Structure 1
Amino acid sequence: MSKPVKQVHLGAAFPGVNSHTVWSDPRSGSQIDFSSFRHLAQTAERGKFDLFFLAEGLRLREHRGKIFDLDVVGRPDTLTVLNALAAVTDHIGLAGTVNATFNEPFELARQFATLDHLSGGRAAWNVVTSSDAFTGENFRRGGFLAHADRYTRAAEFVDVARKLWDSWEADAVVADAGAGVFVRDGAIAEVRHQGPQFDITAHPTVPRSPQGHTVLIQAGNSSDGREFAAATADAIYTIHAELKAGQTFYADVKDRLAKYGRAREDLKILPQATFVLGDTEAEARERARHIRLQQVTPQGAIAHVEQVWGRDLSGYDPDGPLPDLEPLTEGVNITRDRARHHHDPLAVARRWREVAEAKKLSIRELVIELTGRYAFTGTPARVAADINAYVQGDACDGFIISGHLTPTGLDEFVDTVVPELQERGAFRTEYEGTTLRDHLGLAPAPHRGVAA
């Protein structure tokens, strides 16, 4: 008996900055104007995607004591954008990345419950954490968490949010022809929570939303992150995209679910990926090479290497070899916020030199090699076949896809790759449910009550 075809789940990510988008292309639009968000979300909905995914940026990066100008595009408030998109879309899920370190459960639970109501059950929260004191300077309590404590706070945060979402019974709001709309007596529980991170007593102001609980996404690949996802999340946004690495990650996370009383289908694994299409394989490869050269500019490549070396390397040729001097190891703060490297700079430099020497790469070519997200490259039929192979081969349950242009980068994928997936019977031709949980094949969120 043949194995049933698994359905591919797809999310559309709004393109970021730096080496993730070609902001210099004349076709590139604004990353803050609402029309850009609307275009991408409506294009993804036209393609029957599960969700639209919006990242979060809480502080502009600084490099060598100045705002890093290649990173300045603006990042409006996530929830404001998603609430606006709820009014101009009908089906697609609306997922927002919001930090659990710098927010409070009552406020965030209320905001996501509101989005779920306004969208008719399409809200998702990508739970992220931070131990970054630089970003924390924007907030009253600052970057007060040790790196190891991030998930401790996040787990308690989610626990409190769920209690708040469960404080209203499903039929708490009653419509009465004579008296109007009122709340049934005893249908709202008081939420009392005392823990290491939060101590609150509350009567939430928003009724239980269409999904009950907002869909929870977790972005993290560490062992702690995987365990947090297995215990808490409905989906994981991950960077594992190579087939073998994806299969290993998939098996590891899915195997953790049983101890929390969860089934394997209760958690979807969605790696990030991009794509480059062409009429032929050769054309797609050449187009991919050209795009990467646009994404990683000469000055961007030098700045990337400076993050590890901790030195001013502006005198070096980006098309030349890596510096022959060693990185500084103490008292270095050349890049603030979103620096990519937290490990021993000498070890990182040694590994980079090995890669550069083995592949005969210049500084810029090396940075292109190191910073590229996984890209499906080829004809539409080839890309659809490759995506389907990952899902059927248990390397993931689908992908969070982004293009290289804002906001039209997804158009070509929707017009050419999605029909190929539909022909294979691996992707929906119409939405069959109304909520994001329906799209992802997740069970309705149970009402757990509010016991401490």
Structure 2
Amino acid sequence: MTVRTRMHLAAHFPGVNSTTVWTDPRSKSQIDFASFEHLARTAERGLFDFFFLAEGLRLREHKGRIHDLDVVGRPESITVLNALAAVTERLGLAATVNATFNEPYELARRLATLDHLSGGRAAWNVVTSSDAFTGENFRRGGFLDRADRYARAGEFVATARELWDSWTPEGVARPFAHQGRHFDIAGEFGLPRSPQGQPVVIQAGDSDEGREFAAATADVVFTGHGTLDAGREFYADVKGRLATYGRSPEDLKIMPGVTVVLGDTAADARERAAEIRHRQVSPQNALLALERIWGVDLSSYDPDGPLPDIDPEPEPALAQGRVRVADPLAVAERWRALSRAKGLSIRQTVIEASGRQSFVGTPETVAAELDEFVTAGAADGFILVPHLTPGGLDEFVDRVVPLLQERGAFRTEYTGTTLRSHLGLPEPVWKG
């Protein structure tokens, strides 16, 4: 008898990105605890695996000024999750914390504290940075070459795991010592082994080095692929790397970030999706997106007019605190071709070219499409990125989750208490 594949679901709290529609009157604060609590409680009501917070270490700038179309301020993730641990019971709590601008002992202690306070529900989304602009906020700003960021991150995770393993499962503290290229520390860790052995490790990154890092280190991969075929290619590639590290396909869950727009009919859903995308890409945001690629001031251009006929500058530097576009000229050529083929303006081109992977339709069709991605080997589940703070998850939980449950594609109750149990991950073997 074939065992039914069940998907995993997580919720991403909207924040510093172009997904959130801040002009919607239902949009609330991204700082008030009530917003975090509402979305987390909704995710737990929907039996989601975990609640996911991103990170912003410096206010982003554009043309030398703080970008006034961005949200200003983001609370520290682990602090927020410690508070959410008190108002949730089963929901996993995932914090994005940078491995470039932190130290293993301090971060391992904070994550272990969250795991103890929550009863085994903590997760760490490992990110890296070689951005000197962000690094200026830290003592060693800009010290790390881009080529070294994954090397430091890999050693950071390994060192944190050594710290978490320095207590025996029976509660006996043992000294630790780590000597490596990036860290040379020794002493005694301040907390016993946590309820799920170690916090869950999440990783995001689509480059070859990112995929290898995930295969070697991560429990969950946060990715994004716009089509079923692209998802299957990524899924097969990353899962195929696991054996090199003595791991099985079940040891790593691949969960792309997705948006969902629902309607009573397919036409209604498409209309809502178009309106949301139109509001996400304002005229100002359209020019900002273009300036990130071209690297020059385009404020004189009409967002409803044609794309620039000039080529991008080789070293774009207008935007600070954002991921650099890898090949601006190639992106510009693709966007021009799209604009010519469909007769699109600047704003229309940005809307079409930069849209996130989305599931748009009736609750029934969305449930079926999500299920297909999992059963076809394109994902183990999804991290939902709503466009409203904090109520953007409500409709999905009320209208889609019951349909997934009817299909046997999603749980009808939590059967464990830890995040590892929700994800079906084995408890790490103690290596003390």
**2:335 aligned partner:** 352
Q: Which residue of 1 aligns with 2:198?
A: 213
- 1:445 corresponds to which residue? 428
Structure 1 residue 340: Cα displacement? 4.5
Matches within 5 A, 1:408-447: 408-447=391-430
Deviations 1:9-42 (A, max 9, x none): 0000001344211001111000000000000000
**Identical aligned pairs, as a percentage?**
66
> Counterpart of 2:93?
94
What corresponds to 1:250 in structure 2?
235
Match among 268, 273, 292 for residue 288 of structure 1: 273
Name the counterpart of 2:319: 335
Residue pair 2:16, 2:56 contacting (<8 A) in 1 also: no
Task: Write the distance in 2 (CA, Å) between the matches of 1:261 and 1:306.
Answer: 45
Structure 1 position 339, deviation (Å) = 4.1
Task: Measure how far apart 1:241 and its partner are.
Answer: 3.9
- 2:22 paired with 1:23: yes
Instruction: Report matched runs for 1:193-204 at 5 Å.
Output: 193-204=178-189
Q: Distance in 2 between matches of 1:188 and 1:9?
A: 35
The residue number in structure 2 matching 1:84 is 83
In 1, the alpha carbon distance for the partners of 2:427 and 2:32 equals 35
Cα offsets for 1:252-275 (capped at 9, x unmatched): 111111111111100000000010
> C-alpha displacement at 1:371, in angstroms?
2.1
Q: Give the AA of the match of 2:221.
A: I
In structure 1, give the amino acid aligned to 2:333: R
Is the CA contact 1:32–1:73 (under 8 Å) kept in the aligned structure 2? no
Which amino acid counterpart does residue 283 of structure 1 have in structure 2? Answer: D
- Which residue of structure 2 lines up, in the alignment, with residue 8 of structure 1? 7
Say yes or no: does 1:228 pair with 2:213. yes
Q: TM-score, normalised by structure 1?
A: 0.94
Q: How does 1:31-430 map to 2 (within 5 A)?
A: 31-172=30-171, 187-330=172-315, 332-343=316-327, 345-430=328-413
> After superposition, what is the alpha-carbon deviation per residue over 1:217-244, rounded to whole angstroms, capped at 9, x for unaligned?
0111111111111111101000124100
Could you tell me whether the CA contact under 8 Å between 2:40 and 2:88 is conserved in 1?
A: yes
* CA RMSD of superposed structures (Å): 1.1
When residues 380 and 257 of structure 1 are mapped into structure 2, their CA distance, relative to the original with a 3 A threshold, is same
Structure 1 residue 246, shift from structure 2 partner: 0.4
Output the CA distance in 1 between the equivalents of 2:374 and 2:264: 24
1:145 CA displacement: 1.4
The 2-side partners of 1:417 and 1:70 are apart by 32
Q: Is the 8 A contact 2:123 2:201 kept in 1?
A: yes
**Residues 445 and 367 of structure 1: CA distance in aligned 2, closer, same or farther (over 3 Å):** same
Q: What SS class does the counterpart of residue 71 from structure 1 fall into?
A: coil
- Residues 278-312 of structure 1, C-alpha deviations (whole Å, 9 max, x = no match): 00000000000000011110001001101122221
Residue 392 of structure 2 aligns to a residue whose secondary structure is helix
Structure 1: stretches of 5+ with no match in the other structure: 173-186
Contact 1:241–1:271 (CA under 8 A) maintained in structure 2: no
The amino acid across from 1:169 in the alignment is: T
Q: 1:126 is paired with a residue of what secondary structure?
A: strand
Query: Is residue 167–residue 204 contact of structure 1 (8 Å, CA) maintained in 2?
Result: yes
Task: Give the Cα–Cα distance (whole angstroms) in 2 for the partners of residues 100 and 230 of structure 1.
Answer: 17
Count of residue pairs brought into register by the alignment:
432
Unaligned runs of 5+ in 2: none
Contact 1:82 1:115 (C-alpha < 8 Å) held by counterparts = yes
Tell me the distance in 1 between the aligned counterparts of 2:387 and 2:332: 29
Deviations 1:170-189, CA, capped at 9 Å, x for gaps: 122xxxxxxxxxxxxxx221
**Secondary structure in structure 2 of the residue aligned to 1:270:** strand
SS of corresponding position for 2:301: coil
Shift of 1:314: 1.0
Match of 1:247, SS?
helix
Question: 2-side partners of 1:373 and 1:165: how far apart?
Answer: 37
TM-score, structure 2 normalization: 0.98
Hey, what's the Cα distance between the residues in 1 that align with 2:155 and 2:16?
32
1:296-341, Cα deviation, whole Å (9 max, x unpaired) = 10001001101122221111110111012222225x4211111441
